[in-house]
């Protein structure tokens, strides 16, 4: 069973429909007990880093999430679910993330005169092979919606990069953890392939 965490942020419907369409057993939950029982955890979401942390803490999910990820429970983070893995974000100064990965989350530089948020289709450059990327070609396109991006301190966790004025880590992988800034559930066939790989590995 895959637990999709509902903490009041983000469009869960697309994620749930994607997994169920592929035959995955999905449980949408706000209960920590379900996280312990699940074979894998999915944390989607869009919105504020600080509000995400607060909502998870209010639901008593923040500490269990951190514990389970560190213990090796399979985890897929999408968009905000990737950013939360890091120590801090410029979006919410003074609020600490899960700190599973060393590094920070920053806003796209204003001096580059980019349209922010970065919204639409963009390619990924594969930096390290992983089962969740099986069948996905280098430079494959995924759908993005974000104003902030992650800067990992450890280069070896970067699974893919994407260029939008700057080259940034568009996904990270460490142990049973995989997280992406893009939205696989909105990325048509290629994105569904990634969700299918997650089910086959850990669902």
Catalytic residues: 79, 183, 185
Beta strand 166-174 pairing with 177-180 = antiparallel
Beta strand 2-5 pairing with 26-29 = parallel
Quote the tokens at residue 23.
């035959």
């Amino acid at each position: 069973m895959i637990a999709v965490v509902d903490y009041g942020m983000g469009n869960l419907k697309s994620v749930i429909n994607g997994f169920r369409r592929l035959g995955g057993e999905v449980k949408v939950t706000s209960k920590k007990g379900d996280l312990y029982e699940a074979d894998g955890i999915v944390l989607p979401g869009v919105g504020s880093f600080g509000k995400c942390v607060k909502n998870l803490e209010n639901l008593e999910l923040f500490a269990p999430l951190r514990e389970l990820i560190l213990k090796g429970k399979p985890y897929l983070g999408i968009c905000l679910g990737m950013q939360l893995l890091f120590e801090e974000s410029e979006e919410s100064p003074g609020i600490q993330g899960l700190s599973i990965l060393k590094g920070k989350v920053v806003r796209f530089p204003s001096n580059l005169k980019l349209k922010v948020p970065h919204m639409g289709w963009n390619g990924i450059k594969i930096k390290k092979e992983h089962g969740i990327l099986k069948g996905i070609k280098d430079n494959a396109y995924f759908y993005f919606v974000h104003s902030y991006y992650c800067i990992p301190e450890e280069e070896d966790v970067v699974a893919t990069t994407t260029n939008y004025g700057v080259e940034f880590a568009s996904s990270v992988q460490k142990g049973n953890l995989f997280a992406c800034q893009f939205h696989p559930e909105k990325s048509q066939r290629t994105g569904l392939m990634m969700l299918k790989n997650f089910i086959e590995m850990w669902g």
